[in-house]
Structure 1
């Protein structure tokens, strides 16, 4: 688990010539012990004032780079800057109580001898790669670490979009099943969640493609690293297409649900119109005979009421026959 939010250094490693990792503390960073290692990886809390101060004053990065790493709003990208890369990638928010579509951002400065990653909210993919480093399961070059982080972010994004696809399948089944009453209010919310993820998926694919296209020329990424990045970019392309398909399906589902609601309303209005047509003669006659004025026919006859009831029943039958003849019922 990562330390609390008050810690500027969430975790860090120094790597020797053989690539073996040594855990670092914040005191090690402040005391300049990074110089004792061939390369280092620092995972910082972007919201920590101490981490921000170190980045500006002691990290060796220029002010433009630091400002890019610390800016509040950003989008996925990868840009060559001097001898390194500024990289912003996003992943699903898997923190407790959070919405998975509220993507978390991982900002990176990737140089030959230093990898700095920053986050405001926990990013599980970074913790995944941390464990791989501790277990000695991956190379510890900067390029390998970046490629592994991109691969883990894509893994988790793939799982989330597969769940979205399953959710769309479930809504389709419920909409087609007459025994199930689909709550139509969930469809606009589902579509909103899809669009929120889609807004960042496309630029993330472009960022990974940029690393694949330019990374080999920089010497920062080996052929193996580029292979992992290329695979992550290809998977992100597939996820982009999947997300576009899910978005289109959600739009069709919403339209079908709205059409079904309109048809149901029309059916109810039609039934009311039929009932009104059936009872219109009855209402007219009973209203006419209820005016309580002199001269009402049959007022003194003992069979007048039965005659009126029979006449009204006959009018109902005649009305039903006419409606049936017109094929309205």
Structure 2
């Protein structure tokens, strides 16, 4: 029995679509490599960059440009969208997931859309792409690869909306804690929330700028239908970006409120410390004076049996004088 794996190297899943029939076929992982190449209908290949054999398989796929292949096999962590020779390729932001949970960790999806094929690659499992796979398995109404690309970006938008709702719920809880009667001044959950909001806003602005620029390309430079799709996707992501920006501003204002409360508490402690210093300074001078090892100190002779009591009275008197002075100048 052969111990060599018969699976298509690097393929996570693949589908072959048949436009006009509203159906698709799952490409078996143990099928020959030729099964993933363009032919009847069009195909969607989703590959894992964690498999070292993936670049070799991508090199065998016809219809992709050298830049598109480089994008699919890169480890870029910056959003990008480019087009050349009727091929659209780039990197989109997404969110990673584990086997049993969805996370707020940002991941990256690399894609290339050409005539008859769409190829997506990733290093770690992602939220949106897995949801698109589930939608395709339930209802495979995709006439062209560019339509599937629109589904991927649309699902990313829905993932963003869900994440914004999660972050909003967390921020509401933090606000209730900070502005509540107890007035919590230390909220460890606010810092990661702010980082997530800032990164989302930055990446969204980049994707929006790229989509706007791509939508101004010539029709013969991009796949059919891409220009209209880019305009629609940009409008939809613009609305989400406004929500993310509003969330970022709320988190910033809440952080400033916490800083204000911390500053007020610090000032109160410094005020108390200053008062204690003012009260203890005169007694310190008195005890320092009587602690000098010099001759002729008052109340030091054998006849001064009440010297300690007199010195203590002077200490109390100096504290009283300090209290009167502080009251007179309005500090107390």
Give the TM-score range, shorter chain.
0.7 to 0.9
Aligned to 1:257: 258
Listed one character per residue, the Cα deviations across residues 177-214 of structure 1 (whole Å, up to 9, x for unaligned) are 45143326655544433333333211222344456566
Q: 1:84 to 1:287 in 2, by over 3 A?
A: closer
Please report how far the alpha carbon of residue 149 of structure 1 lies from its aligned counterpart in structure 2 after TM superposition. Answer: 1.0
Please report how far the alpha carbon of residue 151 of structure 1 lies from its aligned counterpart in structure 2 after TM superposition. Answer: 0.8
5+ residue gaps, structure 2, are 1-6
Aligned to 1:119: 122
Residue 277 (structure 1) aligned with residue 281 (structure 2): no
Q: SS of 2:112's equivalent? A: strand
Q: 1:308 to 1:76 in 2, by over 3 A?
A: closer
Are the counterparts in 2 of residues 105 and 120 from structure 1 also a CA contact under 8 Å?
Answer: yes
Residue 199 (structure 1) aligned with residue 192 (structure 2): no
Listed one character per residue, the Cα deviations across residues 119-167 of structure 1 (whole Å, up to 9, x for unaligned) are 1111232222222222226334322211111111111122223333343
Q: Distance in 1 between matches of 2:314 and 2:38?
A: 107
Listed one character per residue, the Cα deviations across residues 60-83 of structure 1 (whole Å, up to 9, x for unaligned) are 423232112212215323333222
Q: TM-score, normalised by structure 2?
A: 0.80
Superposed CA RMSD: 3.4
Q: Distance in 2 between matches of 1:80 and 1:147?
A: 16
Q: Distance in 2 between matches of 1:295 and 1:118?
A: 90
Please report how far the alpha carbon of residue 230 of structure 1 lies from its aligned counterpart in structure 2 after TM superposition. Answer: 4.9
Q: Distance in 2 between matches of 1:220 and 1:42?
A: 20
Aligned to 1:236: 237
Aligned to 2:225: 221
Residue 314 (structure 1) aligned with residue 317 (structure 2): yes
Among 118, 130, 134, the residue aligned to 1:131: 134
Aligned to 1:20: 23
Q: Distance in 1 between matches of 2:108 and 2:193?
A: 22
Q: 1:260 to 1:31 in 2, by over 3 A?
A: same
Greater Cα shift, 55-64 or 145-154: 55-64
Listed one character per residue, the Cα deviations across residues 84-104 of structure 1 (whole Å, up to 9, x for unaligned) are 321422112233699945421
Q: Distance in 1 between matches of 2:192 and 2:226?
A: 43
Are the counterparts in 2 of residues 194 and 243 from structure 1 also a CA contact under 8 Å?
Answer: yes
Aligned to 1:10: 12
Among 135, 145, 156, the residue aligned to 1:153: 156
Q: SS of 2:44's equivalent? A: strand
Alignment length (residue pairs) = 322
Q: 1:26 to 1:319 in 2, by over 3 A?
A: same
Greater Cα shift, 210-219 or 73-82: 210-219
Q: 1:208 to 1:101 in 2, by over 3 A?
A: farther
Are the counterparts in 2 of residues 132 and 138 from structure 1 also a CA contact under 8 Å?
Answer: no
Aligned to 2:3: none
Are the counterparts in 1 of residues 11 and 48 from structure 2 also a CA contact under 8 Å?
Answer: yes
Are the counterparts in 2 of residues 11 and 43 from structure 1 also a CA contact under 8 Å?
Answer: yes
5+ residue gaps, structure 1, are none
Among 71, 75, 90, the residue aligned to 2:78: 75
Q: 1:63 to 1:296 in 2, by over 3 A?
A: same
Q: 1:99 to 1:135 in 2, by over 3 A?
A: closer
Q: SS of 1:92's equivalent? A: strand
Aligned to 1:142: 145
Q: Distance in 1 between matches of 2:223 and 2:195?
A: 41
